Chains A and B, each alone.
Chain A
């Protein structure tokens, strides 16, 4: 049992233990889950420490058989891509617990237990190196989120929860079918093995076949991201979810989709991914501009932030499908940035809601007077979100735009419009909420940040500045793994050759082992 396994299973143990706590001791549950989640976070910092070069392999690898036939292995490991996402999950869980402290007043035990279960699922998704295991964690993470929205959400919570679940599930069963197909052809679910087989040419796929497989994976991930026409579940889920649910959903769960794109779609189906890049990027750019425009006219703060997520994640997809080092680095960096700044925005909106019990922008105005610190924090977060230099989003957006400019300058132009629009809607929001005449309810109910709220938001503020200035803490690991991904996505798969016989190790390779073709030009 290495550190990673510990980080993975500690939340599960915490979940089970939390269920055993007596129902009438909510304070005990809160304290207990907070301690567990903090312990997980502290342990997970240890994951970031070694950074020893992991040339081909992964850090903290565990590879144990789980099911013999068909061969499914409990294979987990970290690389530069997943490392920071794991840390993001473990960081946001205690924060989510902190911000729910007074907010959740019914079924307290279950709420916190579900948060820990969610953490287990999320960390599992990011560290699984076996397709089957990945799918299992993917589904495990769905269930607690369904309950977080459905039980502790607002008025239309049930509709939102069901919509969320059905959208994600529909995509993922197709992905499962594609995984089984891959298993049928290659005889393995193991991700590194699949990559080796692909690189050595032992696993060939026809172009039509590859495109179908790619689409099955892509749709599952695109729903989760969410990419433009598949985004309709997101505003509902965000608006109806409790604050902690929104934060986890926006900050970490959406990243499952983009993570999947980088982890699976690019290296496993390189040709199709490149082939489809054109229209995917088009959808991403439509998403960027559409999300921004819709966000601009929202009267509801949470909905506004939700649509801004659609816009921001368009950048990530754009970066991923630019197939450049800068674009990919920017995309991964932007995943983390979005997690932190949008997470912070949802938290702050949640703070406002706790005070005024309204999400309508029209109910606010002049909040800066009674709550100066809250306004300041909100301003910093807003500026981070619109990409002010020295704050985190700037780095990511810049890299993405740089990467896309290397491929097609028109993409950059359109995407940059999205950046400008984001400044418009965020600053306008800020102006309407915090400036102007403070109404009676605002003056009465809105108070400044409490110590607990400070404790929750401060780490995120620190990170915004840290990630905006000291990029070298994060980027090298990300770049290294992205370089590998890019290299793999350059593998040209022979379209003529077809392998139907299972290529299990041993009998494999004899039939049609041939060296990979020279990688084609990236553009």
Chain B
């Protein structure tokens, strides 16, 4: 161990190393050891092993930090940091990636595009997310973001014979690259302003500057634009509906929770870290983006017939809610965003899981009418979908309510009553389109009587998401405490 790679550095990096290692291992083993299609389930075991090792590393970090009673542990000259925030998000990524992998197996078989690389990409994307959640340096964050995004570009286009998938990948790649350009430009200005790439030093430099400095404003605006692109907030949301619709459903699920959560973590790191002192300047931008996201997301979702597209718009509106928590800016608000992201992860995975389970030979299952009469065909999945949709809409006692509740509470505590009222009213709009799905499932008759074919993995994933969604709603206490630890500084 040298000066530039100390024991602490290693300790902090272990989960990422494990993810990358098993990601590469899957590539190799898929090629040499398990060439037969039947043997692919071993790759799933590899992925599980990778997650387990990463989880063990995280667990060690967790206990170390708790045991030492320190707030954070920095490594690589301050490029990486392990704190409650990074741990919170990384645990969530592990859950999301595992659930997505569980539900992918049969789906990819049906699609006829089952390749080992898929699992490798899941792990490598998660590795990128790891750096996004725990990076404290512009370059680390940026490379982490690109690593994650690149994996997603490929996964979105994974159905190579499907035109929609190809188109979605292309669109996502172009717009994603465009937004990365904005972000890089903003970062370069931030570097110019402070002479350092470390978030903490940038924060100090910015705090010393006049908040109305045009260079600072330019840096902030370009950075904000790039970040809003990544979380698909209006007016930079155009890629989301197409990418969500065209991507394989399992990838859409991963994209909507993993990529979104990581981007939110990234956004919180930037806005609550270096840009915290320029709050007066960026707050109006975020208020505008949040309200626009709520408006566009909710209103556009009403007229959608494709569930994946509908969920894309709904995810845009959820980005609006998350931004509102940041706008409120108090402790409740930040905790609220964390809770919201956690809840959203389980809930949205549950919804996509049902769509994935519907997929079979001859039925795509992403049209609202495809869900008709699901209650007869398989009541268990209908119930899961119901719980998750109620949660997305924010109706107690599901988890989604707890998330929305925190956001509203934080807005009210911050004295932003108009925003709180607007956010609350959009819940009613959201119910309308979520209940279109419910209506189709419960109140229409099935068009075809084909039964659902599910596998053990899908059932396990269903149980996990269902329990998560209901459990957080009914016994929120441990989760809230967990999210409470995630506050930055």
Contacts and interface: CB of A to CB of B under 8 A. Distances in A.
Contacts, number: 82
A70 to B, nearest CB: 7
A238 B353 CA distance: 36
A158 B443 contact: yes
17 contacts: A67-B476, A70-B409, A110-B375, A136-B396, A136-B397, A136-B401, A151-B442, A151-B443, A162-B432, A166-B432, A169-B427, A170-B428, A177-B408, A177-B417, A180-B408, A180-B409, A183-B409
Given A136-B397, A146-B435, 12 more contacts: A23-B379, A107-B375, A110-B375, A161-B439, A162-B432, A170-B428, A173-B427, A174-B421, A174-B424, A176-B405, A176-B424, A181-B412
Interface in A348-399: none
Contacts of A180: 405, 408-409, 412, 420
B413 interface: yes
A180 B402 CA distance: 12
Interface in A57-80: 66-70
Interface string B392-410: 0001110001000100110
A177 B396 CA distance: 14
Contacts of B484: 69
Contact of A166 (B332, B397, B401, B428): B428
Interface in A137-168: 139-140, 142-143, 146-147, 150-151, 157-158, 161-162, 165-166
B480 interface: yes
Nearest to A70: B409
A139 B431 contact: no
B449 interface: no
B432 A177 contact: no
B1 interface: no
B385 to A, nearest CB: 13
Contacts of A68: 477, 480-481
Contacts of A183: 409, 412
A107 B442 CA distance: 10
Interface string A35-63: 00000000000000000000000000000
Contacts of A191: none
A414 interface: no
B412 A184 contact: yes
Given A176-B408, A180-B408, A184-B412, A170 B443 contact: no
Contacts of A9: none
A474 interface: no
A10 to B, nearest CB: 17
A454 interface: no
B425 interface: yes
Nearest to B409: A180
A135 interface: yes
A38 to B, nearest CB: 26
Interface in B411-444: 412-413, 417, 420-421, 424-425, 427-428, 431-432, 435, 439, 442-443
Given A110-B375, A162-B439, A180-B420, A139 B428 contact: no
Contacts of B405: 176, 180
A67 B420 CA distance: 22
Interface SS of A by simple majority:
helix
B425 A139 contact: no
B396 A158 contact: no
B390 interface: yes
Given A143-B390, A170-B428, A69 B421 contact: no
B435 A184 contact: no
Interface in B361-403: 375-376, 379, 390, 395-397, 401
B483 to A, nearest CB: 11
Nearest to A107: B375
A139 B480 contact: no
Contact of A177 (B376, B420, B431, B435): B420
A161 B440 CA distance: 13
Interface string B167-182: 0000000000000000
A165 B442 contact: no
Contacts of B375: 107, 110
Contacts of B420: 177, 180
A140 B397 CA distance: 7
Nearest to B396: A136
A66 B405 CA distance: 15
A158 B409 CA distance: 33
A397 to B, nearest CB: 35
Contacts of A150: 439, 442-443
In this complex, which of A107, A162, A170, A177 has the most chain B Cβ atoms within 10 angstroms of its Cβ? A177
B425 A170 contact: yes
Contacts of A67: 476-477, 480
Contacts of A170: 425, 428
Interface string A83-118: 000000000000000000000000100100000000
B96 to A, nearest CB: 25
Contacts of A69: 480, 484
B417 A143 contact: no
Interface in B215-230: none
Contacts of B477: 66-68
A158 to B, nearest CB: 6
Nearest to A68: B477
Contacts of A158: 439, 443
Contacts of B421: 174, 177
Q: Which 5 A-B pairs have the closest CB atoms?
A: A136-B396, A173-B424, A170-B428, A180-B412, A177-B424
Nearest to B407: A180
Contacts of B376: 107
Nearest to B414: A184
Nearest to A181: B412
Given A139-B395, A177-B420, A165 B443 contact: no
A147 B443 CA distance: 8
A53 B362 CA distance: 68
Nearest to B335: A69
A150 B436 CA distance: 11
Contact of A139 (B396, B435, B442): B396
Contacts of B412: 177, 180-181, 183-184
Interface in B434-489: 435, 439, 442-443, 476-477, 480-481, 484
B29 to A, nearest CB: 42
A286 B233 CA distance: 47
B469 to A, nearest CB: 14
Interface in A318-344: none
A170 B427 CA distance: 8
Nearest to B332: A70
A465 B137 CA distance: 79
Contact of B442 (A23, A70, A147, A173): A147
A173 B480 contact: no
A144 B317 CA distance: 26
A178 B484 CA distance: 24
Contacts of B425: 170, 173-174
Contacts of A139: 395-396, 401
Contacts of B431: 165-166, 169
A473 to B, nearest CB: 35
A176 B427 CA distance: 11
A183 B421 CA distance: 15
A142 B396 CA distance: 10
B209 to A, nearest CB: 33
In this complex, which of B376, B427, B435, B484 has the most chain A Cβ atoms within 10 angstroms of its Cβ? B435
Given A157-B443, A180-B405, A135 B396 contact: yes
Interface string B223-241: 0000000000000000000
A392 B480 CA distance: 50
Nearest to A23: B379
Nearest to B431: A169
B412 to A, nearest CB: 5
